[in-house]
Amino acid sequence: MLILTRKAMDATTKVTLLSVMLFWSCVECDHPHPLDPLTFSELNLVQTIVQNAYPASKTTNHNLTFNYVGLDEPNKSQILSWISSNPKIKPSSPPPRRAFVVVRFKKHSHQITVDLSTRSIVSKNVYEGNGYPMLTFGEQTVASQLPFSYEPFKESLRKRGLNASQVLCASFTIGWFGEAKTKRNVKVKCYYTNGTANLYARPLEGVAAVVDLDDMKIVGYNDRYVIPVPNAEGTEYRASKLKPPFGPKLKGIAVTQHGGPGFTIEGHSVRYH
């Protein structure tokens, strides 16, 4: 779930991208083990290969969305064969380095396997089963901002006398209830802060929007009734803001192991002693 204000959207997106870049740049390596995660340069390579195979459309907004990118783990027999060759003494050829990708393109879910050594797609298929790919941060960000430019929602805020700058919205998956045909929709619910960090204590009851993630537009809206938003007083929950007896300052504790840690970390491998 992602909750953003309109002003925070751009800044949060930049911070998220920066954090991902820093994380992956720290794990860039020469793959001492076939199960090491994809590096930042490999992720870029996968993105380029897939984007070239699924070009963006200039006439519709049904462009490519990366919902999952991860290592396509080799078969256990391949890994055991590689380990038995004692690569630390006599390096051997590791199993093929591949990535498994799930994308959303033109309202369909595609499963793709990319071979990084040959820089090519070795398999792809359109997923026809139940369910949809996981939500991306980008999709949640855009979906949570749609109500602010939707006139019925603006009217709902005016009717309640609420300041739009103090409203936060979040997107929620709506589940599957056995329908033969479904769409990739989410429900957007909103909350009012204005004096508290505990936004969940101040929901906009009776107000909900349904967003189609493929078309990225509001396809349903309800404003069923008006219920006064709860007061902000007494909703604080952060320990640093509370006073005894609800927020006593406890003395810190320290845990030590006299014989040292019971494990060692080598790259992405953890060995227990």
**What tens digit of pLDDT does each residue of 173-190 get?**
998 888 888 899 999 999
Q: Which residues contact 103 (CB under 8 A, 6 or more apart)?
A: 50, 54, 64, 65, 66, 67, 109, 110, 112, 133
| pLDDT score recorded for residue 268 | 85
- Give the pLDDT band of residue 4 (cuts 50, 70, 90): very low
| pLDDT score recorded for residue 18 | 40
CB 44 within 8 A of CB 172: no
- Give the pLDDT band of residue 62 (cuts 50, 70, 90): low
- Give the pLDDT band of residue 23 (cuts 50, 70, 90): very low
**What is the overall mean pLDDT for the chain?**
85
Query: What domains can be seen in the chain, in order of their start residue?
Result: 31-127 (3.10.450.40), 137-229 (3.10.450.40)
Section 126-143 average pLDDT: 92
Quick: pLDDT tens for 190-244.
Answer: 999 998 999 999 999 999 999 999 999 999 999 999 998 999 988 888 877 777 7
Long-range contacts of 76-79 (CB under 8 A, 24+ apart): 78/34, 79/34, 79/35
Q: With 70 as the cut, is the pLDDT of residue 24 above it?
A: no
Percent of the chain at pLDDT above 90?
55
pTM confidence score: 0.76
| pLDDT score recorded for residue 133 | 93
Quick: pLDDT tens for 243-257.
Answer: 777 776 777 788 888
Higher pLDDT, residue 114 or 88: 114
**Strand 207-212 with 185-192, pairing:** antiparallel
**Which range has the worst mean pLDDT, 25-39, 104-118, 205-219?**
25-39
Please tell me the distance from the alpha carbon of residue 86 to that of residue 70, in angstroms, as a whole number: 26
Quick: pLDDT tens for 258-272.
Answer: 888 889 998 888 889
Give strand pairing partners of 191: 168, 203
CB 184 within 8 A of CB 157: no
Please tell me the distance from the alpha carbon of residue 76 to that of residue 66, in angstroms, as a whole number: 27
Give strand pairing partners of 192: 167
Please tell me the distance from the alpha carbon of residue 260 to that of residue 250, in angstroms, as a whole number: 27
Q: With 90 as the cut, is the pLDDT of residue 51 above it?
A: yes
SS3 65: strand
Section 36-65 average pLDDT: 88
CB 125 within 8 A of CB 110: yes
| pLDDT score recorded for residue 60 | 63
Q: Which residues contact 256 (CB under 8 A, 6 or more apart)?
A: none
